[in-house]
Amino acid sequence: MNEALKPKRIFLGKKLSNKNLEGQLLPKFIALPIFSSDPLSSVAYGPQELLMILTLGGVSFLAFAPGIAAVVVLLLTVIVLSYRKIIEAYPSGGGDYEVAKKNIGDRAALIVASALLLDYVMTVAVSIASGTDNVISAFPELSPYRVEIAVGFLIALCAVNLRGVRESGTAFAIPTYLFIGSVLLMIGTGVFKLISGAALVAPSAGYQVAVENTDAAHALSVGGPFQAAVILLLLRAFASGSAALTGIEAIANGVPAFRAPKVKNAQITMVLMGITAVTMFIGIVTLALLSNVHYSENPCDLKGWVECATAPQLSVMAQIGSAVFGANSILFYVIQAGTALVLLLAANTAFNGFPLLTSVLAKDGFAPKALLTRGDRLVYSNGMLSLTLVALGMLLIFEANVTRLIQLYILGVFTSFTIGQIGMLRHWRRGLAKGSITPRAARSGLAINGLGAFLTGSVLIIVTITKFTHGAWMVFVIMPILYWIMFNTGKYYKAVKREIALDADTKFGSTGDYAVVLMDQLNKPQLKALDYALSSRHTELDAVHIAVDPERARAFAREWKKYGMEVPLKIIESPYREFSEPLIKFLEDHRDRNGSERIAVYLPKFVVGAWWEHFFHNHRSNRLRKRLLYVRGVMVTLVPWKLESALKVDLFSRRPLPGDARRGSVRPMRRTHKPGANVVQTVKPEDIHYEV
């Protein structure tokens, strides 16, 4: 089959050489949608979650929304400035993980890694679930297919990302810029209408809210013990609104993917992302409050909405779009389409950040080495596939429900934020003490990262307290498991490294060279294996037949003599019709008698051309090879024989298969230099002795 017509090539595109890596690096205008789609899109559901939690206490609690939003904006600004410092100090792509590893230690770094890995998974799940919500807001009849739509979007995102960073960036740039442009247009149009005296009325403006927490509803006027309920509700609203900060770290983790000058381009992209996110967050919260958007966790708490049990609740973005442009206007559908697309594509931030982080972990020995390898399209495809499988599980378990999924969200990212800021404080102090950093730069860094550590640490405590009973307790189960896996993976790799390292006592050599060719019948593949063994000129060579069928073994012995084979044949009895156990005992007993001999076992193997041909062969060579590799001193050589069907198929167009050169007529037998040729000996497993 033509390489370009293979399903994998159609699906992923042509393979890219290592020399194409530079061409896959990103300019700023492509890097922005790739690494910023998560924080930019989170302004679509961050304000929604903030307003929803405040509404639990009654409509009057929405008066706290501007203050909470202002704190979220301050926090976002400080974190953006902090990450500009991290990009400059640690441009290799490790982000908070590298900061923690170099300034605090491996244990802190693994806490950061476990938090970020979980957060990337939740980014994919929450973004796709939220995007599905907005699709359903525009087309309510799709509501019964929520999970199916979410899974379809996940598979599509994985497929696009597997095609390469540059291609996925180009594909995602248009929807992201469409979202930014449409939201800014909506904010500008809304502000213009308000200045002109026009009223903005959301579809839910006329609904009253059934108060869930009556104590909180009366707390403002009553005071006293009820203030605790108010504070808890406000903190929970702030924690939910802080979801708008997720994904900010992705740019710091993706610095190696930027074009030169990498640090400068990454810092500029970080600033552009921060300005855009702050502007949209402020605008959406403002328009939502001025248009009287009412959004409830339980839609039937909205008094006056009779269809609450059968119709899906419109998202906050959909309600603002309806108030500004009209419910059935073209721009309303543009807003919905742009929001849905960017929420779905927000998962792309994780599809870039997760594989990069796992590759760094694999390089440091805390993750399997398979995650360090780039695929055909120069992306870390194993990391992407791992992320897809875990996110798929989350979507299925939580039924693509944003409110249920978001409880597991942001806890991980604020854990990494806090540890990263503390690590940067140590970085500045250490650099100042060594003189490698100027006092002015150190003071600036200490001020920014100190404020960042205080704010992110405070948010981490708030998020933990307010979300623990709402599902965040699962994070405290999952993160230690991830930490334990990575920590023990690191121990395993370190133990292997110590075991295989050279030392003063390292020596190789053996006192003999013994070879065995496993023979079942006289045919071309078997004789080809024997010929290959003869050409290797071993000190001693035997043909071995496992007598699973005694009658067949006697017939084979007669056939061996009839053809005058000049290699000793040893027949090993196998009363239980096993192949591996008698052969292993034979080899171990031989080595016990002859000392540290090197033993080579030659196994013939068919190579077939069609997948269905595998069902017609017993694959004994593969099974024996796996068992023999655990026998001390034994090396295994598979001698391939390509059947005619395999000759018609170019399995690897780049290069021939190993062993192709040996395929052909059998060469004349060489006489072994071991005395006693043409000897047939039957061996019992319980009493293996040889006199050849």
pLDDT digits (tens, 9 = 90+) for 328-343: 889 988 888 888 788 7
Query: What are 515-537's pLDDT values in tens digits?
Result: 999 998 888 999 999 999 999 88
pLDDT confidence band for 24 (50 / 70 / 90) = low
For position 243, what pLDDT does the model report?
72
Show the DSSP H helices in 196-315 as ranges. 214-222, 227-241, 250-253, 262-290
pLDDT value at 371 more than 50: yes
Q: Please check whether residue 41 lies inside any domain of the structure.
A: no
**Averaged pLDDT of the chain:** 81
The count of structural domains within the chain is 2
Are 519 and 551 contained in the same domain? Answer: yes
Are 454 and 584 contained in the same domain? Answer: no
Q: Please check whether residue 688 lies inside any domain of the structure.
A: no
pLDDT value at 624 more than 70: yes
Q: Are strands 302-303 and 634-642 parallel, antiparallel or unpaired?
A: unpaired
pLDDT value at 20 more than 60: no
Q: Please check whether residue 360 lies inside any domain of the structure.
A: yes
**Residue with more model confidence, 223 or 177:** 177
**Residue with more model confidence, 656 or 316:** 316
Once rounded to an integer, what is the mean pLDDT over residues 300-314?
75
Query: What are 625-650's pLDDT values in tens digits?
Result: 999 999 988 999 999 988 887 776 55
Q: Please check whether residue 25 lies inside any domain of the structure.
A: no
Burial string for 134-153 (b: 16+ CB within 10 Å, else e) reads: bbbbbeeeebeebbebbbeb
HSE on the CB side for 506, CA within 13 Å?
Answer: 7
pLDDT confidence band for 616 (50 / 70 / 90) = confident
Range of the domain at 517: 513-683
pLDDT value at 49 more than 90: no
Are 156 and 123 contained in the same domain? Answer: yes
Are 518 and 435 contained in the same domain? Answer: no
For position 160, what pLDDT does the model report?
79
| Domain termination site, one of 442, 463, 493 | 493
Query: What are 72-90's pLDDT values in tens digits?
Result: 899 889 889 888 888 888 8
Are 632 and 564 contained in the same domain? Answer: yes
For position 166, what pLDDT does the model report?
53
CA atoms of 203 and 50, how far apart (whole Å): 19
**Mind giving me the DSSP string for 189-214?**
HHHHHHHTT-----TTTT-EE--S-H
Query: What are 167-208's pLDDT values in tens digits?
Result: 555 666 888 888 899 999 999 999 999 999 888 888 888 887
| Domain termination site, one of 464, 493, 522 | 493
Q: Please check whether residue 10 lies inside any domain of the structure.
A: no
pLDDT confidence band for 692 (50 / 70 / 90) = very low
Are 422 and 522 contained in the same domain? Answer: no
For position 635, what pLDDT does the model report?
92
Once rounded to an integer, what is the mean pLDDT over residues 114-136?
84
**Mind giving me the DSSP string for 521-574?**
S-SHHHHHHHHHHHHTT-SEEEEEEEESSHHHHHHHHHHHHHTT--S-EEEEE-
Are 147 and 247 contained in the same domain? Answer: yes
pLDDT value at 503 more than 50: yes
Q: Please check whether residue 248 lies inside any domain of the structure.
A: yes
pLDDT confidence band for 377 (50 / 70 / 90) = low
507 Cβ neighbours under 8 A, 6+ residues apart: none
Once rounded to an integer, what is the mean pLDDT over residues 139-153?
87
| Domain termination site, one of 462, 493, 524 | 493
Give the CATH number for residue 284: 1.20.1740.10
Give the CATH number for residue 527: 3.40.50
Query: What are 563-609's pLDDT values in tens digits?
Result: 888 899 999 998 888 889 999 999 999 888 888 788 999 999 988 88
pLDDT confidence band for 509 (50 / 70 / 90) = low
Residue 65, SS3 per DSSP: helix
Are 485 and 627 contained in the same domain? Answer: no
Q: What is the dihedral of CA 76, 82, 83, 88, to 10 degrees?
A: 160
Report residue 52 as tokens: 């929803």
Report residue 628 as tokens: 């023999």
Identify the sign of the CA torsion 245, 250, 253, 254.
negative
Residue 643, SS3 per DSSP: coil
**Residue with more model confidence, 78 or 673:** 78
Burial string for 48-86 (b: 16+ CB within 10 Å, else e) reads: bbbbbbbbbbbeebbebbeebbeebbebbebbbbbbbbb
Q: Please check whether residue 11 lies inside any domain of the structure.
A: no
Are 285 and 232 contained in the same domain? Answer: yes
Residue 592 gets the label, from left (phi > 0), alpha (psi -120 to 50) or beta, of alpha
CA atoms of 307 and 349, how far apart (whole Å): 37
Are 166 and 257 contained in the same domain? Answer: yes
Are 519 and 480 contained in the same domain? Answer: no
165 Cβ neighbours under 8 A, 6+ residues apart: 24, 26, 34, 257, 352, 378, 379
Are 537 and 484 contained in the same domain? Answer: no
**Residue with more model confidence, 234 or 545:** 545
Lowest mean pLDDT among 364-378, 390-404, 593-607: 364-378
Q: Please check whether residue 37 lies inside any domain of the structure.
A: no
CA atoms of 584 and 216, how far apart (whole Å): 76
pLDDT value at 222 more than 70: no
Once rounded to an integer, what is the mean pLDDT over residues 672-677?
43
Task: Please report, rounded to a whole number, the percentage of residues in the chain having pLDDT higher than 70.
Answer: 84
